[in-house]
């Protein structure tokens, strides 16, 4: 299936429904999706591809964040896959405008420091700077609303993920805790957000994750870790934990993403 927005955006016709996805131009343009889909299907875990550029007529471009999610049946077997295209073009434009405004503001301050010869000239430049600051504040306000909408979209996607998704910052404080994590460990998002992950009172033996998550912060090789424990109802389970770095700079990651898949264990 494809929703009406996708059909309009990527020129998908009714006759394309039921046909192999790889026959569509969308499967390889604006990005080659076939290996991504194959990886999601084989690894049974979601993937996100950020800032993908799609050229448009008249030299314009459109940018997407692409999410590829596995869909599981009741036996937790792979049954299908979903591909979401989040249009982040407006967000990029606002970001570029903010960066341009910041550059202009820096130049204005440099001029202020060098124009101490006449107080009247300085006052006029300060007034101009205040007006620029107001413009920047207005743009940043609009950008914040765009970011809030994008965050709400991301949280909506994560809430539908079939595995527990926990996002930590560099201090191992909880930034995101999806619906599946609430079901697994019996704590709501508002109860854990901002809390030190290793101090959470949950059935998962989090102390065994201390060294592995710190290894992610040090950019060491990631491997899946399996932990035996009880769920919040006392049922024995095995939790398969995949650790991944969260964005950041070239020298330092911003945090850790923990993906938790649960397998019931027979005692």
What span, in angstroms and rounded, lies between the C-alpha atoms of 179 and 124?
54
Looking up tokens 């998908």 gives: 12
- Comparison of pLDDT for 46 and 247, the residue scoring more: 46
Q: Among 3.30.70.860, 1.10.3720.10, 3.50.50.60, 3.30.450.20, what is the CATH number of 163-264?
A: 3.30.450.20
Q: Is the pLDDT of residue 159 over 60?
A: no
Q: What is the reported pLDDT for 214? A: 84
Give me the CATH topology for the region 4-87. Answer: Beta-Lactamase (3.30.450)
Q: Is the pLDDT of residue 241 over 70?
A: yes
Q: What is the reported pLDDT for 194? A: 94
- Give the mean pLDDT of 245-255: 77
- Give the mean pLDDT of 249-258: 80
- Give the mean pLDDT of 208-223: 78
- Give the mean pLDDT of 189-217: 89
Give 50-86 pLDDT, tens digit per residue: 999 998 888 889 999 999 999 888 777 777 889 999 9
Give 116-139 pLDDT, tens digit per residue: 777 888 888 888 998 888 889 888
Q: Is the pLDDT of residue 255 over 90?
A: no
Q: Is the pLDDT of residue 101 over 70?
A: yes
- Comparison of pLDDT for 138 and 249, the residue scoring more: 138
């Amino acid at each position: 299936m494809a929703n009406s927005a996708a059909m309009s955006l990527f020129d998908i016709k009714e006759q394309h429904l039921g046909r192999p996805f790889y026959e569509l131009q969308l499967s390889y343009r604006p990005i080659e999706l076939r290996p991504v889909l194959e990886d999601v299907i084989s690894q049974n875990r979601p993937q996100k591809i950020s800032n993908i550029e799609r050229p448009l007529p008249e030299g314009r471009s459109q940018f997407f964040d692409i999410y590829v999610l596995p869909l599981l049946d009741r036996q937790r077997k792979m049954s299908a896959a979903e591909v979401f295209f989040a249009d982040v073009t407006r967000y990029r434009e606002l970001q570029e405008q903010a960066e341009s405004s910041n550059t202009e503001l820096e130049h204005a301050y440099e001029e202020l420091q060098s124009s101490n010869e006449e107080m009247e000239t300085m006052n006029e430049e300060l007034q101009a700077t205040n007006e620029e600051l107001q413009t920047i504040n207005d743009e940043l306000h609009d950008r914040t609303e765009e970011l809030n909408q994008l965050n709400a979209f991301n949280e909506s996607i994560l809430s539908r993920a079939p595995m527990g998704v926990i996002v930590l910052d560099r201090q191992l404080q909880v930034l995101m805790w999806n619906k599946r994590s609430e079901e697994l460990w019996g704590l709501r998002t508002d109860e854990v957000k901002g809390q030190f992950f290793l101090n959470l009172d949950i059935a998962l033996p989090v102390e065994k994750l201390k060294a592995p998550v710190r290894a992610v912060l040090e950019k060491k090789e990631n491997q899946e870790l399996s932990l035996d424990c009880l769920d919040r109802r006392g049922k024995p389970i095995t939790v398969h934990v995949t650790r991944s770095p969260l964005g950041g700079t070239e020298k330092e990651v911003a945090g850790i993403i923990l993906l938790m898949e649960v397998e019931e264990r027979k005692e």
